[in-house]
Structure formats: structure tokens, C-alpha cells
Chain A
Amino acid sequence: MRHDTVIIGAGPGGLAAARAAKRIGKRVLLIDDNWGPGGQIWRGYSGLDIDGIDKRYSTQVSDLDLDCEQLILACGARELFLPFPGWTLPHVVGAGGLQALVKAGLKIQGKRVVVAGSGPLLLAVAANLSKAGAEVVLVAEQASWGSLVGFGVSLWRWPEKIIQAAGLATSRFRASVWPVSAEPGRVVMSDGQTLQCDYLACGFGLVPNLELAMLAGCKIESGFVSVDAMQETSVRGIYAVGELTGIGGVEKAEAEGEAAGSRTALRGNHGAFVELLRQCFALREELKSLAKPDTIVCRCEDVTLGKIAACSSKREAKLQTRCGMGACQGRICGSALEFLRGWPPDTVRQPVHPVSVQDLLKQKETANP
């Protein structure tokens, strides 16, 4: 069946878009790589599913060849991981990553966890992990208190659970601290202390999943998809909502999803909040020197920072050292190198995720009936 509106991503933005599009009478298809709705932030919540629309979960979109009048990209964001000695050890996990794993059944009861990196996600993760029975040893935010004060002012904008986390924040929260190296079972922090931990949950903020927007040729400005008042990108018929247009959390994503799905202008001014977040949690220069020449930068291909020292672009690093040539297609090292070296993203080609030969052939059949 042909759909009027196809939405990629079933997080808050995608779900809001789906509800709005359904409300105005559109035939809607909602696609997500995960096995259920909610995206990363609402992963595993019940009651999110929408009746009366078509849904395809556990479905990776590796190419855009969809027959619809409106395509809404709600691909969300991923964590920014920065390399430091020991970051490839198995007990070093993303902050959002560890939370996602716990939601997917990882037993965290009684485990000692250091939460580190940057951004409001750290507190939310710490709160959720505590609730699940983890012993949160420390929450280390790289930004300074001075910088965070500005963010404190606007905490009211955040969901209640983050405010609840403030209790935890006062006792175990440290600003201007970050991990400098990890060894099995422990982590050394920038203030000199060594902490024993079962997990170091570490993420340095969020970066948007721009691949599909780039593949579609949508205009990207300062690292985000450019959209008009109705969330339409520079490519006619393709819309972008949520973190793709600026890291701003659930409220912004829902408002943008509603606008795109109902094809009305966005309500509320979310730009100021995006800017506030960006400024409060700006990454400090010291983080650029955490990785040493023998620190792996590209985890897929085990390429060290030293090996790419002579390269001047992502493409050169790819061709000469295999950096970014692996299965994640440079998503992890690419985002890190944008911060470390200022290298812009490489061009995006389909498939935007690895895909089996069999599935590539299947796609072509449906694309060319």
C-alpha cells in the first residue's frame, strides 16, 4: 500500500508526527530500527503504540527510495564518544548506551557505575541506574559549574525525572571532571582520583544521526538539518524533526513532530533552549588531548590516532589507514574526529548501514516492481 506520510524514527518526534499525520487523515507508515516505539529516550515504555497506522519495527533503512508524498526524518541522535586510553575496554559503555542496555535487560543491581562525559543525559542516566539498583559512584560533568549555572536556570523545562535526579546530583555530582584513562575495573579521573567500577558509562553529549538527511541531499548547516517553519528541509517533501534540527530534547522533538505531521507551523521557540544547551555543555579543549598516539580512534578497524597523524581529511584517513572503513561506517570515529581534528563529515552513500546482499536484492525488487 502506498502511504501518504512515511516517518523514519519512532522516538518522541516521530511518534508526535505519526499522531498528527493520522489526525489529519493521512495514511501513515512508521519505521524504526528498534523492536518497539519510544526511541532511545522512551525505550521500553508501554502505551506508546499508535493504532490505525502501519508500523515496521526492527527495520533498518539503508536507502531512501520511498513512494510517498511526505517523508519525515526523525532519526534522533547518538552519543558522542571521545577516545581516551582504555575507552575500548568492555566495561566502558556509553552513558545512554548503558541505560539502553539496562532497559533491554542488563542486570545492574549492585553494580558500581561511574557516569561521565557531558550533557543533561548524564543526570537522567544516573537517576535511572540508581533506580534500577546500581551504585552510582560519581557523575562527572566536564563542563564547569560556572557554565552549568545557566543551565540550572532552565531546568524547569525538563521532565520531572531529571529534576528528581538533582538529589543525586548534589551528593555525587562533580563539575569540571572527566575521565582520562580506564583500566580493567577502574577509571582514572582528571582530578587525579582512581575509582573502582563495574562500568564507566561515558558520553560527551549528542550528535544528530544525519546520514539519511545527507543521503537525500538535504541542506545541513552547522551540523544540523536546515528546516523551514513547517520542518520541511531544502528537499521538497522531506521533513526533519527532533535532534536532527538541533539538540533540544523531548519537548522540542514533540513540537516539531506535531508541526511536520499536521503540516502547520511550529509552535513555541525552541531555538533559545538549543543554544543554551550548546553553550552550557560546550566541550573543553583539554578533551582533545585525552587520546595518545597509541590510542585507538577507529574501533572497527583498530586504527590509532598516531596512524592518522599525517592525514588531513576523513577521506585521506580512510584510504590510507582504514580509519572509518568498518561496519559502523565511521559514525563513532567520524564524530570524534569532527571534534578532535575539525574534519567535516564525509559524503554519505547508500547503504547507510551494513546490509546483507540478500536484503539489498530484496530492496531493489520492491523499489522496481
Chain B
Amino acid sequence: MPRIKLNGTLYDVPAQTSVAAALMNACFTARQSIEGEARGPLCGMGICFECRVTVDGIAYERGCQLQVRDGMEVTTDAA
């Protein structure tokens, strides 16, 4: 089972899980809107960009279109 870091905490997440689902399972929201609202995934299919997070240092990755990988580090805006 891949071990990933979400906002600094380690989680074991079943393979094939999307980053967006992993975040939600860990009770994290995704991005912070420009006015500061917490946003979570909306469309689940790569269209809305609400689930943007930083993955391994790359900002604005869509969490719903990425599967977890062992060693992956994900941070959300609020963290």
C-alpha cells in the first residue's frame, strides 16, 4: 500500500486511490479560493480545477486526475 504524506502527516492509502479521494478520506479540503474559502473537489473528472493541490513541489496539480504513489507529498493551500 503506497505511503503518502498529506500536509505533513503520513497515510497508507490503497493503490489506485486518487489524490483527491485520499485527501477527502483524511478530512482535508483541497484549495483555498482567492477570497479564502475552503474548496473541495467538485467535478471529480478533471474539469473544474477545484481540487488543485501541490504534489511533490509542483503547484496546481489536479488531485482527481492523479493516483497516489508511494512517497508522494501533497500539500493543500490551507496547510
Q: What residues make up the interface of A, taking CB atoms closer than 8 Å to B? A: 33-35, 40, 44, 58, 60, 78-79, 81, 88, 90-94, 96-102, 104-107, 209, 299-302, 326-328, 331-332, 354
Interface residues of B in 10-42 (CB under 8 A from A): 13-14, 16-18, 20-22, 24-25, 29-30, 33-35, 37-42
B65: contacting residue among A58, A81, A107, CB under 8 A? A58
Inter-chain contacts of A104 with B (CB < 8 A): 16-18, 20-21, 44, 64, 67
CA distance A328 to B44 in the complex (A): 13
CA distance A332 to B47 in the complex (A): 8
Minimum C-beta distance from A278 to chain B (A): 21
Known: A58-B65, A96-B44, A100-B44. A106 touches B38 (CB 8 A): no
CA distance A98 to B18 in the complex (A): 13
Known: A104-B21, A105-B13, A299-B39. A97 touches B60 (CB 8 A): no
Q: Please tell me if the beta carbons of B64 and A327 are within 8 angstroms of each other in the complex.
A: no
- Greatest chain A CB density within 10 A among B20, B24, B35 is at B24
Inter-chain contacts of A88 with B (CB < 8 A): 33, 37, 39
Q: Please tell me if the beta carbons of A300 and B43 are within 8 angstroms of each other in the complex.
A: no
B40: contacting residue among A90, A209, A331, CB under 8 A? A90
Known contacts A33-B65, A100-B45; 12 additional CB pairs below 8 A are A35-B67, A79-B43, A90-B30, A97-B43, A97-B44, A104-B20, A104-B44, A105-B14, A299-B48, A300-B49, A301-B34, A354-B60
Known: A91-B40, A93-B42, A97-B42. A332 touches B48 (CB 8 A): yes
- Greatest chain A CB density within 10 A among B14, B33, B48 is at B48
A101: contacting residue among B21, B37, B49, CB under 8 A? B21
Which residue of chain A has its CB nearest to the CB of B65?
A33
Number of B interface residues in the complex (CB < 8 A): 35
Known: A78-B45, A326-B49, A327-B52. A100 touches B34 (CB 8 A): no
A94: contacting residue among B13, B35, B44, CB under 8 A? B44
Q: What residues make up the interface of B, taking CB atoms closer than 8 Å to A? A: 13-14, 16-18, 20-22, 24-25, 29-30, 33-35, 37-50, 52, 60, 64-67
Q: Please tell me if the beta carbons of A302 and B40 are within 8 angstroms of each other in the complex.
A: no
Q: Chain A binding site: helix, strand, loop or mixed by DSSP?
A: loop
Which residue of chain A has its CB nearest to the CB of B19?
A104
CA distance A321 to B72 in the complex (A): 37
A90: contacting residue among B39, B47, B60, CB under 8 A? B39
Inter-chain contacts of A354 with B (CB < 8 A): 49, 60
Q: Please tell me if the beta carbons of A40 and B45 are within 8 angstroms of each other in the complex.
A: yes
CA distance A96 to B66 in the complex (A): 18
Inter-chain contacts of A300 with B (CB < 8 A): 49
Q: Please tell me if the beta carbons of B37 and A302 are within 8 angstroms of each other in the complex.
A: yes
CA distance A328 to B65 in the complex (A): 14
Inter-chain contacts of B40 with A (CB < 8 A): 90-91, 93
Minimum C-beta distance from A161 to chain B (A): 19
Which residue of chain B has its CB nearest to the CB of A87?
B42
Minimum C-beta distance from B67 to chain A (A): 6
CA distance A300 to B14 in the complex (A): 30
Which residue of chain A has its CB nearest to the CB of B14?
A105
Inter-chain contacts of A35 with B (CB < 8 A): 65-67
Minimum C-beta distance from A309 to chain B (A): 18
Which residue of chain A has its CB nearest to the CB of B33?
A302
Which residue of chain B has its CB nearest to the CB of A201?
B44
Known: A35-B67, A302-B33. A328 touches B24 (CB 8 A): no
Q: Please tell me if the beta carbons of B45 and A97 are within 8 angstroms of each other in the complex.
A: yes
CA distance A292 to B41 in the complex (A): 23
CA distance A60 to B22 in the complex (A): 22
Minimum C-beta distance from A202 to chain B (A): 10
Q: Please tell me if the beta carbons of B44 and A105 are within 8 angstroms of each other in the complex.
A: no
Inter-chain contacts of A94 with B (CB < 8 A): 42-44
Q: Please tell me if the beta carbons of A327 and B60 are within 8 angstroms of each other in the complex.
A: yes
CA distance A354 to B65 in the complex (A): 14
CA distance A301 to B37 in the complex (A): 11
